[in-house]
Amino acid sequence: MELLNFKPIGFIKTPFKSKEGMPIQSTGAQGVKGTIEIEAEYIEGLKDLDGFSHIILIYHFHLSKTYELSIKPFMDDNLRGIFSTRAPKRPNPVGFTVVKLIEIKDNLVHIENIDVIDGTPLIDIKPFIPDIDSPDVQKLGWLQGKSDKMGVKKSDNRFIE
Amino acid sequence: MELLNFKPIGFIKTPFKSKEGMPIQSTGAQGVKGTIEIEAEYIEGLKDLDGFSHIILIYHFHLSKTYELSIKPFMDDNLRGIFSTRAPKRPNPVGFTVVKLIEIKDNLVHIENIDVIDGTPLIDIKPFIPDIDSPDVQKLGWLQGKSDKMGVKKSDNRFIE
Global confidence as pTM? 0.92
A-chain CB neighbours of B125 within 8 Å are 83
The vertex-A158 CA angle with A154 and A159, nearest 5°, equals 100
B-chain CB neighbours of A125 within 8 Å are 83
- Measured in residues, chain B has a length of 161
- pLDDT tens-digit series, residues B101-150: 999 999 999 999 999 999 999 999 999 999 999 999 999 999 998 877 77
3-state secondary structure of B76: coil
Q: In the predicted model, what is the mean pLDDT of chain B?
A: 91
The reply to whether ipTM tops 0.90 is yes
Predicted pLDDT of residue B119: 97
| Cα dist from B90 to A57, A100, B63, B96, B124, whole Å | 14, 21, 11, 12, 18
The vertex-B54 CA angle with B83 and B130, nearest 5°, equals 70
When pLDDT is cut at 50, 70 and 90, the band that residue B159 belongs to is low
Going along chain B from its start, the domains and CATH numbers come out as 10-129 (2.40.30.70)
**Chain B (77-136) residues lying within 8 Å, Cβ to Cβ, of chain A:** 80-86, 90-92, 94, 96-98, 100, 121, 123-135
Interface probe with A: pick from B74, B83, B116, B139, most Cβ of A within 10 Å: B83
Reported as type and span, the H/E element at residue A133 is helix A130-133
Contact (CB<8Å) B5/A5 = yes
Cα-only R_g, chain B: 16
- pLDDT tens-digit series, residues A105-156: 999 999 999 999 999 999 999 999 999 999 999 999 999 988 777 766 667 6
Predicted pLDDT of residue A161: 47
Q: CA–CA separation, B36 vs B34, rounded Å?
A: 7
Q: Minimal CA–CA distance to A94: which of B124, B144, B75?
A: B124
